[in-house]
Amino acid sequence: MKKALKTKENEFQKRFQKHYDELKWLYCELYQNQMWAFEDLCRNLENWYKDRKASLKALDRTREQNPQWYKKNDLLGMLMYVNAFAGTLKGVEEKLDYIQECNVNYLHLMPLLSSPKGRSDGGYAVADFRSVQEELGTMEDLEELAEKCHEKQISVCLDFVMNHTSEDHEWAKRALAGEKEYQDRYFFYDTYDIPAQYERTVPQVFPTTAPGNFTWRDDVKKFVMTTFYPYQWDLDYRNPVVFNEMVYNMLYLTNKGIDIIRLDAVPYIWKELGTQCRNLRQVHTIVRMMRMICEIVCPGVILLGEVVMEPEKVVPYFGTVEKPECHMLYNVTTMATTWHTVATRDVRLLKRQMDIVNGLPKDYVFLNYLRCHDDIGWGLDYPWLRNFAIEEVPHKKYLSDFFTGQFPGSFARGELYNSDPTSGDARLCGTTASLCGIEKAGFEEDAEASWRGVNLDLMLHTYMLTQSGIPVLYSGDEIGQVNDYTYHEDPDKWEDSRYLHRGDFRWDLEKYRSEEGTVQQRMFDTLTQLEEIRAKYNVFSCESTVYTVDTWDDSILGIIRVNGDEKLVALFNFSEYDKVAWINEEDGMYQDLISGREMEARGVQIPAYGYYWLMRKNGK
């Protein structure tokens, strides 16, 4: 017993010594040998470890023994706003049985830390990293929710907004009071000379709603860097105090039981004149240090990077096998390409995107999703699309018109966000159900169109569940929830069309999931069936070999997954017409895991918006 206790006492030192040399090297290179700051960090890491609860330390040890725990095929996520889903953190706790009924064991709670009403950007302007928005509850409520989730084998993900703070944060207030120490935690300038130099090379994030990257503060007669919105002040990570203090904020949250830290807007966190201030090498140094710090203090915690950029800029945030950075990244390009495929009925770009992702090392884990809290941006591979005479500006206009219902024959209902008529850029908002036609059909009381929309919705979810990585549902998608237009009546929301798909969860409709023949029943029951199948077969795990197969029809996507004796042929018809997938897998009979039907994987007839999970009969 004494030996076991001593081993646990030495636990921190063993982890610390494993990473010490690299951590010191990177820190001192980044911060020019400011050893006082590094020593402060090291002292505090041990204090955060000591403050960590015994139950969390036990979970750390379990996950250290099974470092692949988050790569299994039984993990399913759900993303939600606490207030929209259940009002408060206590309300979410009361709804955990429903979340379990959805087969969810990875719960992503959208930003819930203290932020000023009306100037919060959906909670991404944090005024206090160690308190919860009053209307949602308390930090104690969050800690208790995490404990209840762990009892039910549910991991909890929380956004960590590390690029900026709210102008209401204590640091910002003290900076406005003239304290130089706190002004040095941001980018303050007396004149526009240096901001003007930044503006020559730094793109604008929201050119129509928040133009420019600096805001004049008349109360201190200075300019401050505000990459996103004027009330979100960029932190200066060139100051080691900023790095240390933000690490302590992160560890505070992990010690409250948060399992997954979502690093928000991570490519933006290092600024350097003469650059775009995106994806600089120092960003990777910071993320690598954060990865090591978690492995020292809380190795059961994983980092999820929010990198909403083209694939060649996303993948580097995994780091290397020897020096990993983020554990997981969003599969944002595949998501956008999926909706492009819905509008064009042409799978060729999607097939190409899947081939790129499937060619990456299996250690790289992506979060796969159809919809999330944010808009859809059309960051597609336009150089490749030009091979088919598709030009960027007119194609973006077509996608915008199609998904807002402006294009003749469109079934989709969405709205644009940050539309820029000059460049053709516009981002898309809307729930999965509304973009698939369920809303339009319901409004027009067209039963046939309604089922067509449900089929498309389910086909897309089946495709998402087929991809390697962690599938994440957006709360409400499991019952086919449509757009919420009431945000137009709220002055705090009406300028942000993303609230179109951020509406309150429709508990009045959820009850219909037990009523045969309703949209809610078919959506919920079919998704449940698909999720249970996915969790049962190893062929869906990240270790599987995955590749696309030609179907000789540009509207049908074919994917093959192989794991040991298990071989799965997945087919998806993105067309509103019945089709034939001209595949020729000459290795015996297959069984569709969804319908139970037996067939050959040759010349497969597939109905409009149809989908198959064909498992080779000798697979177990």
Alpha-carbon distances, residue 170 vs 179, 280, 339 (angstroms) = 11, 28, 42
Question: Tell me, what DSSP letter sits at residue 368?
Answer: E
**In Å, what is the CA distance from 533 to each residue of 66, 458, 472?**
23, 15, 16
Q: How far apart are CA 18 and CA 24, in angstroms?
A: 12
Q: Which of 272, 265, 228 is nearest to 30 (CA)?
A: 272
Q: Which two tokens stand for residue 111?
A: 């930003």
Of 502, 480, 495, the C-alpha closest to 434 is 480
Q: Which one-letter DSSP state was computed for residue 608? A: T
Fill in the DSSP letter of residue 266: G
> What are residue 302's DSSP bridge partners?
260
Residue with the two structure tokens 């015994």: 54
Residue 597's Cβ-side half-sphere holds a number of Cα atoms within 13 Å equal to 11
Report d(CA 132, CA 111) in Å as an integer: 9
Burial of 200 (0-12, 13-18, 19+ CB in 10 A): exposed
Return the structure tokens found at 285. 């140094």
Phi, psi values for residue 380, rounded to 5°:
-90, 170
Sheet of 556-563: strand order equals: 545-549, 556-563, 566-573, 611-616, 579-592, 598-606
Active site residue ranges: 264, 306
- 535-544 as b/e, with b when 16 or more CB fall inside 10 Å? eebbbbbbeb
What Cα–Cα distance (Å) separates residue 592 from each residue in 123, 482, 582? 44, 30, 17
Upper half-sphere CA count for residue 222 (Cβ side, 13 Å): 18
CA distance linking residue 508 with residue 517, whole number of Å: 17
Cβ neighbours of 419 (radius 10 Å): 16
Backbone angles phi, psi at 471, to 5 degrees: -75, 140
Other beta carbons less than 10 A from residue 480's beta carbon: 31
**Cα–Cα nearest to 569, from 555, 553, 582:** 582
DSSP structure class, residue 324: B
Q: How many CA atoms lie within 13 A of 81 on its CB side?
A: 18
* Residue 461 φ/ψ, nearest 5 degrees: -65, -35
Q: β-pairing, 302-305 with 260-264?
A: parallel
Q: What is the DSSP string of 514-569?
A: GSTTSHHHHHHHHHHHHHHHHHH-GGGSTTSEEEEE--SSTTEEEEEEEETTEEEE
Contact assessment for residue 456 and residue 609, using Cβ atoms and an 8 Å cutoff? yes
